[in-house]
Amino acid sequence: MKRERFFQPKKSLVKFAFAASACVAAAFLCVAQDDRRANDGRPTVPAVTNIANFENGDGNGPIGNLVQGADGNLYGTTGAGGASGDGTVFKVTPSGKITSLHSFTGSDGSDPQAGLALGTDGNFYGTTEDGGAFGWGTIFKITPGGELTTLHSFNQYDGFFPEAVIEATDGNFYGTTWSSYTGSDGNNYGTVFKITSGGAFTTLFYMSPSEGEYPSGGLVQGSDGNLYGTAANAGVNDGAAFEATTKGLITAEYDFTGSDGSDPAGRLVQASDGNFYGTTAAGGDNGLGEVFKIDPTLLSLTVLHSFAGSDGGKYPNGGLIQGTDGNLYGTTPGWDGGTIFDITSSGTLTILYTFLTTNEGAYPYSGVVQHTNGNFYGVTSAGGTVQAGTVYSLSMGLGPFVRLLPTSGKVGSAVHILGTNLTDITSVTFNGKAATFKPGTDTSFTATVPAGATTGTVKVVNSGGTLVSNVRFTVP
């Protein structure tokens, strides 16, 4: 049993299908990048490059976000393709070399549609929507070398159609399932779950119409330690944003009404201003989706942009990330072959790129990730040389930085620091406090949170200059 994917809200029954014209390879070369640059006058950016093409054997139809590993490479999943046609886990270098790490066979999972989470142990954690011991999906762990372990097989009563998982600051992983067979009133509204890295699984909460139905975008941990997510239905059936504790108690909720958005589909992101930002796949002024901002109490929501097609695309599904320039970046799978956009926290949206030929890639269902080299990377679910999808890079002229794993910890705890060219390090500071560190590779090393450290950015100094973390490190 497979859940249908959609550009438009799932309630509208518009299937995630490619237009017939997009399934035929284009007979002309891609339009030059300079012809499709941002409309804000920037002379040299953005530059979008198709760096890799899937060819079925290494995967087909990727729709989950990429994640950067400790080795500097990017990792992801495809919902189809591979040796058995049940999907793959793959690695791709920033220069575009794809390596298939694992082909699912059904018994160990099938149809992995969500992206991966990098754990503090250096392994990756993910989900499949089908397959496993009972045929209702799995949670798995996979090493960077491709050794896969099935941690949990869903049995339909503890949920099915799992979304992406995240590792919280307590070291456990949390996620949601789209549906289940044991809701509070006997219906299938989905769940919130917890699982340890060793596979101990707990259903924390069964969703219901009062809290939200069909959680669809995965979870994010806020700076307060609570979990935030979205549900496709609630209230007047236009969806909800909700807050939950790691014990599973739903503590706050915002119900969308249609005019302020409908069917929130992507994962929320908490920006540096403390607010959460997200997208809805429908609703808004034109019914084509929107970008919104909501405060941490989930009481006040502001519509930043309602899509109208030509103004940036339609049906955004992949959520947003905040770049090191402070802007929010996202994609839409609708309008021509899809778009990449950025938007300021005040609502100024810029189309960065429009996919116009199937050879270069089409339908970026997932969002983008910013690599520590400063560039953004993403996947298209179709297009490429054999129409199986592509990997692309987006350069906005932003410089390198360091990423922290985890982003919160007590004095004396170890923090993994990811970056590029991490050699000849002379100092590491946590909000100005000098820290001890252990040299690693040129893409990662570990540091210890120093006594007296307070919440703030982490800085790494080496012969190449000073690298600053993209987020603040929180000291409880």
Delineate the domains of the chain, giving CATH numbers in brackets.
36-395 (2.130.10.10), 403-468 (2.60.40.10)
Q: Cβ of 212: how many Cβ atoms within 10 Å? A: 28
pLDDT surpassing 80 at residue 10: no
Higher-confidence residue: 319 or 15?
Answer: 319
State pLDDT tens for residues 77-87: 999 999 999 99
The CA distance from 120 to 99, in Å, is 23
pLDDT at 183: 55
* C-alpha distance from residue 155 to each of 149, 213, 242, 372 (Å): 18, 19, 25, 39
> pTM of the predicted model, to two decimals?
0.91
For the residues of 101-154, what is the DSSP string, one character each? EEE--BTTBB---S--EE-TTS-EEEEESBBSSSSB-EEEEE-TT--EEEEEE-
State pLDDT tens for residues 317-327: 999 999 999 99
pLDDT surpassing 60 at residue 151: yes
| Mean pLDDT value across residues 103-108 | 97
pLDDT at 15: 30
| Mean pLDDT value across residues 256-263 | 92
pLDDT surpassing 50 at residue 278: yes
pLDDT surpassing 50 at residue 460: yes
Q: Cβ of 396: how many Cβ atoms within 10 Å? A: 21
**Percent of the chain beyond pLDDT 90?**
79
Lowest-confidence pick of 183-192, 332-341, 416-425: 183-192
Cis peptide before 476 (omega within 30 of 0): no
| Mean pLDDT value across residues 171-190 | 83
pLDDT at 208: 84
Dihedral sign (CA 417, 421, 424, 428): negative
pLDDT at 289: 95
pLDDT surpassing 50 at residue 24: no
DSSP 258: B
Q: Mean pLDDT of all residues in the chain?
A: 89
pLDDT at 365: 93
pLDDT at 81: 96
State pLDDT tens for residues 29-74: 233 333 333 444 443 568 899 999 999 999 999 999 999 999 999 9
The structure tokens 């956009």 sit at 341
417: nearest Cα among 395, 401, 396, 393: 401
Cis peptide before 406 (omega within 30 of 0): yes
The CA distance from 148 to 145, in Å, is 9
Lowest-confidence pick of 228-237, 240-249, 377-386: 228-237
